[in-house]
Amino acid sequence: MTTDLDQLRTDLLGSIEAATALDAIEAVRVSTLGKQGSVTGLLKTLGGMSPEERQQTGPRIHALREAVSEALGARKASLEAEALNAKLASETLDMTLPVDGVPAGSVHPVSQVMDELAEIFADLGFAVATGPEIEDDWHNFSALNIPETHPARAMHDTFYLAGDHATPMVLRTHTSPVQIRAMKAAGGNKPVRIIAPGRTYRSDSDATHTPMFHQVEGLVIDKGITLGHLKWTLETFLKAFFERDDIVLRLRPSYFPFTEPSAEVDIGFTVINGKRVIGGDPTKGEGGWMEVLGSGMVHSKVIEAGGFDPNEWQGFAFGCGIDRLAMLKYGMDDLRAFFDGDLRWLKHYGFSALDVPTLSGGVGA
Amino acid sequence: MKFTLSWLHEHLDTEASLDAILEALTRVGLEVEGVENPGEKLNGFRVAKVLTAEPHPQADKLQVLTVDTGAEVLQVVCGAPNARAGLVGVLGTPGAVVPANGMQLKVAAVRGVESNGMMCSTRELELGEDHEGIIELPADAPVGTAFSEYAGLNDPVIDVSITPNRQDCMGVRGIARDLAAAGLGTLKPLDVTPVAGEGAGPDVRTDDAEGCPAFFGQSVSGVTNGEAPEWMRNRLTAIGQKPISALVDITNYVMIDLGRPLHVYDRAKLSGGLVARKAKDGEEVLALNGKTYALTSTMTVIADDAAVHDIGGIMGGEHSGCSETTTDVLIECAYFDPEHIARTGQKLLLTSDARTRFERGVDPAFLEDGLAIATRLVTQICGGKASGITRSGAAPTDRRIIGYDPNLAETLGGLAVPVSRQEEILESLGFTVEPLDNNGDPCDLDAVDALRVTVPSWRGDVEGAPDLVEEVIRIEGIDNVPSTPLPRVPGVARPTATAEQKLERKVRRTAAARGLHEAVTWSFISESEAAPFGGGAWTLANPISEDMKVMRPSLLPGLLAAAERNLKRGASSVRLFELGRRYLADKERLTLGIVLAGSRSPRGWQAGKAQGFDAFDAKAEALALLEAAGAPVANLQVMGEAGDVYHPGQSATLRLGPKNVVAAFGKVHPSVLKAFDLDGDVVALELYLDALPARKASGFMRVPYTPPALQAVTRDFAFLVGNDVAAGDLVRAVKGADKALIVDARLFDVFTGQGVPEGQKSLAIEVTLQPGEKSFTDADLKALADKVVAAAAKQGATLRG
């Protein structure tokens, strides 16, 4: 009996091992553990045995049943795994094939820089103000202390609008008329801190001038404001904008009809590896100055035109080209390309939708 | 404004270096635009003497010279016919660069004979046109001296930008005065001794006290109008003024030297006296620039009995100008009103150096002196005898007095400057400063240390105390103004953006996130581009070109033109947007425009052929961006009348209420595409952002919400409707069949063909039902289905069997 069981065990495990398909495994299972199976038959013989015999042979038969059952399970799992692997292998795809991306869009550098300006100046307490681009002569000139015969008008290369209007209408030559509108809106009795970015127009067109361009105006009206505040504000703004602490400014006395005293502001650049880099002191080593801003203390006549009492209120104003700021910061060299809508240029110089300027992340992108 | 360093030294006694002068000019507000030393290009050219001249052994036209350079004797081959022993000329030595052709001289053999330099002609040194022979200098010219030194060409030319307020600095003397004030030396006195004339002054007068308040004149008879002296010609040439004749050059010189425009008439060409008067309508004058100007009665002219001879203060007439035959002259020194000059100049579109100065306001107290200097120069240079002086009228010489609180330097200018220093600065600029006794002084001021400042006659730009602050600050040094932090509100900066600004930002970044590129296109377009969009409400009177003539009534023309350019450049897919204003008759309106052209998706190994854009792509963008803008998208109605710009059957408007159009979208009409030179399928849309209702500020708290415990169930319905029924109407009706339980209705199939009767279509809609407290029973679902079918029936739909 012992020998028979051992032989049977060897035979059965051998045939399980030899099975190469799931149905062969199933056949072995039926022929061994099925109702009529050989191992099932052996188990049935236990009932006719004497207690001593049963005690001796029983465990061995049970062990045989266990071993066969285990071997069947293991072989089945192994065959299933092989089958799955074979199926997966047949499903192989070329993972080097390209995928279609979602088309990426972009934000124009002018918009991006306007957002940067809004963010920086918000921290200094400035709101963003707007005004019409088709402006009346009074707001664009007269209220800004530029009477009709003023020589400064000739410097403005003004576009006039055709037709009969109650007052001559122009395309605003600068964002300065928003000064007047912002002061009027403040009602002459509370401080004003605004920036006014937007489109401006001059009938001028060459390599560095386009008939339409963007400016940002800044205006502070309050009590006790001095040229020192103007200087600090411009320094603070430009340091934040270029994200450099070594920004050096040079103020040059100048003239604008709407400010007195007036100053033009140059920003220092240094030359690093043959390239102009904003920042550093140009009086030390290679470098120079670039004009970036016009500014000054608001003229008393302008304060008056804005509905404030110039004996009580004073302030400063500045104006700056946004396109130029963008060029200085991000390195474009052709202003005309700003207005062409060339996708190649937009993809290269534009900004991701998620590049929202923040103070914590730095306004630049 | 250009001048030379030596010219500046005529007025400024200074030891300062050129660099120090340049630095000071910019510092006080006279921005240096450039500096150039014409002598520098003559480095290596020396005065040299020809000792011997022998024929060249190999060439008939050449000579072999020995030339004394002062240091050595060199052999030089020369082809000039006038080269001869004893001639003193200009030798270019090896290493020197010939200005006319940029050639660097070197030792070389010329036809086998060594030449160690070149004897130069006037033209080779760019000093004139003469190329007949080499330069012949006087025999006593110092051999060995650098030629630029000898010729007085070693004189840097400085170009400064003068702001319109500083007429006084449109003369070299004014610049010298500013530099003296800035501590760079002292202003030399000006000799204004009048020329004692004989006899009566010329017959001149002003009949136009407004336009020409003062007309002074002096005659000089018996003049010879030859060349101006060399020093004068050199200075004028150096700053780019071509010398013409002594008389003309003298007027130019005085204008640039002292900022005082003058005019000199040839008396032989005048009939009768000269009168400053208003022109008569229809009068004409041929001006010195060769153009004829039609005059009007608002313009001041100088005329004799016969004709107009001068557009007063702007340009002289051709007819009475001086020539080489002129013997008797009349010198005009007049004062023209700045506003009149400006108006006349603007009307005639005529600019001149005289106009530039008069319209900025020349020194009204400098007529007498200006005339004295001019007459002296004429008599000294051209000879002749001066007449007496005629003075008609008077210039407005009342000097402005300003009550000045010197504390303003600090409270406005941000720089504390001691009162004594302020007085010193102002006085050095020509102001008179006195203490202000508060006793009925017209410029009474309630301030300690207040000053009574009298403005010099040449500083018409200084009107009030802030101007004085500017004078003090710019001379003291604007760089010394300390930066002062702007007071800030305590705590974290407050938000400042308006609702409109936030809307703009959101829409812009959503569009970019959706794959659209933001363009910035011109606000002005051509009339033909505007025409399909109803034309522009605003037309420029002076456009820069026909392409930029009308203010855009829509953002689409600019974007279509940009799309066309991109496709021409080979772009396969164009997705552009612009966020900007449309310029309508009533208002500038914030608008978002989008143009989609080319292919929506390229051909690919997965998708197959490239896909074009269709009107639904435009609709998708419109809805997504309106949602980003915070519009109540669920309430939008899709209606017609998108306009002629679009395909009539593939376009629509989106409205909030029947009259409020918030967007128009669709396929662009083929005729518009043709006008923009586009083909293929192009779709576009505009969102009228200013038509969106303002969002109510509701705070940060959201409406309370708990996700329902029970799962939603879906049921599909297929309806047959007439072809003319809008799917949107049916979906809306189905969704509205039970407002509480139906949470969504989504159309998922449109079918015509087999099984669907002719003239009808099958629309399949998936309805989502959300149970509340307890699950739907079969009876509930049946009731809901009946409601849906009933609602659909009202739209003419029947449940498909």
The model carries a pTM of 0.87
- The residues facing B578 across adjacent strands are B593
Domain assignment present for B698: no
For residue B228, being part of any structural domain is answered with: yes
- Cβ neighbours for A186, distance < 8 A, ≥ 6 positions apart: A192, A221, A306, A307, A308
Is A126 in Cβ contact with B496 (below 8 Å)?
A: yes
Q: Is B707 helix (H, G, I), strand (E, B) or coil?
A: coil
Within a domain: residue B247? yes
Q: Is the Cβ–Cβ distance between B762 and B707 less than 8 Å?
A: no
| Domains contained in chain B, number | 6
**Torsion sign across C-alpha atoms B275, B278, B281, B287:** positive
Beta-carbon neighbour count of residue A4 at 10 Å?
9
**Closest A-chain CA to B476:** A253
Q: How far apart are CA B457 and CA B391, in angstroms?
A: 19
Find residues 35-94 of chain A whose CB sits inside 8 Å of chain B: none
Phi-psi domain of B199 (left: phi exceeds 0; alpha: psi -120 through 50; beta: other) = left
Q: State how far the Cα of B357 lies from the Cα of B353, in Å rounded to an integer.
A: 6
What is the number of alpha carbons within 13 Å of residue B527 lying toward its C-beta? 5
By the 8 A CB rule, do B225 and B247 touch? yes
Together in a domain, B113 and B93 = yes
| Residues B217 and B233 reside in one and the same domain | yes
Same domain, B660 and B564: yes
Interchain pair A261, B27: CB under 8 A: no
Residue B562 touches partner A, C-beta closer than 8 Å: yes
Angle between helices A51-90 and A2-18 (to 10 degrees): 10
| The predicted structure's pLDDT at residue B447 | 67
- Picking from B348-362, B546-560, B586-600, which range would have the lowest pLDDT averaged per residue? B348-362
Six-digit token string for A133: 């681009």
Say how far residue B523 (Cα) sits from the centre of its chain. 18
| Contact state of B519 with A118 under an 8 Å Cβ cutoff | no
**Does residue B484 belong to any structural domain of this protein?**
no
CATH code at B31? 3.30.56.10
Whether residue B169 lies within 8 A of chain A, CB to CB, comes out as no
Contact B605 A97 (CB under 8 A): yes
Identify the weakest region by mean pLDDT among A96-105, B440-449, B648-657: B440-449
Examine the domain organization and report whether B646 and B659 are in the same domain: yes
Q: Please state the φ and ψ torsions of residue A292, each to the nearest 5 degrees.
A: -125, -20
Q: How far is CA B724 from the centre of its chain?
A: 59
Domain assignment present for B777: yes
pLDDT at B431: 96
Tell me how close the Cα of B571 comes to any Cα of chain A, in angstroms. 8
CATH of the domain at B236: 3.50.40.10
Q: Which amino acid is at B451?
A: L
Q: Which residues of B touch A104 (CB under 8 A)?
A: 515
Residues of B in contact with A201 (CB under 8 A): 523
Specify whether B284 is located in the same domain as B347. yes
- Is A97's CB within 8 Å of B469's CB? no
CB pairs under 8 A between A and B: 260
- Which of B324-338, B427-441, B587-601 has the weakest average pLDDT? B427-441
Those of residues 591-650 in B touching chain A at CB distance below 8 A are 601-602, 604-607
pLDDT at B442: 59
Q: How many residues does chain A have?
A: 365
Residue B707 lies in a domain: no
Which residue numbers in chain A have pLDDT < 70? 1-3, 151-152, 154-156
Residues of B in contact with A107 (CB under 8 A): 508-509, 512, 518
Residues B19 and B104 reside in one and the same domain = no
Helix residue spans in chain A (DSSP H): 2-18, 22-33, 38-45, 51-90, 109-123, 137-140, 151-154, 177-186, 227-242, 300-305, 322-330, 343-349
The verdict on B474 touching A (C-beta cutoff 8 Å) is yes
- Angstrom CA distances, B148 to B92, B153, B579, stand at 12, 5, 61
B32 shares a domain with B44: no
Shared domain check, B218 and B319: yes
pLDDT of res. B696: 76
Residue keyed to tokens 């001095």: A226
- Asked whether residue B659 falls in the same domain as residue B672, the answer is yes
What local confidence, expressed as pLDDT, does residue A339 receive?
96
Q: Which amino acid is at A105?
A: G
pLDDT tens digits for range B347-392: 898 999 999 999 999 999 999 999 999 999 999 999 999 999 999 9
| pLDDT for B446 | 65
pLDDT interval class at B438 (50, 70, 90): low
For chain B, report the end-to-end CA distance as a whole number of angstroms: 93
Mean pLDDT across B156-181: 95
> To which CATH superfamily is domain A109-349 assigned?
Bira Bifunctional Protein; Domain 2 (3.30.930.10)
Q: B176 — phi, psi (to 5°)?
A: -60, -35
Closest CB to A111 among B31, B508, B548: B508
pLDDT at B440 over 60: no
ipTM: 0.89
Q: Which residues of chain B have a CB within 8 Å of the CB of A110?
A: 520
The residue ranges of DSSP E strands in B192-305, in sequence order, are: 204-206, 214-221, 263-266, 274-278, 284-286, 292-294, 300-303
Strand partners, B47: B90
Question: Residues with Cβ < 8 Å from B695, sequence gap 6 or more?
Answer: B499, B630
Classify strands B204-206 and B274-278 as parallel, antiparallel or unpaired: parallel
Give the CATH number of the domain where residue B662 resides: 3.30.930.10
φ and ψ of B301, to 5 deg: -130, 165
Together in a domain, B522 and B669: yes
- pLDDT of amino acid B473: 96
Domain that holds residue B426: 401-474
Look at residue B346 in the predicted model and tell me its pLDDT: 87
Q: At residue B448, does pLDDT exceed 70?
A: no
Residues 268-327 on A with a CB inside 8 Å of B are 297, 299-300, 314
Q: Are residues B553 and B674 in the same domain?
A: yes
Q: Which positions 186-205 of A are in contact with B (Cβ < 8 Å)? A: 199, 201, 203, 205
CB contact under 8 A, A341 and B558: yes
Interchain CB contact of B356 with A (< 8 Å): yes
Do residue A171 and residue B464 have CB atoms under 8 angstroms apart? no
User: How do the domains of chain A map onto residue ranges?
Assistant: 2-90, 109-349
Residue B511 sits at the chain A interface (C-beta within 8 Å): yes
Containing B357, the helix (H) or strand (E) segment is helix B353-360
- State whether B174 and B282 are in the same domain: no
Does the CB of B488 have a partner CB in chain A at under 8 Å?
Answer: yes
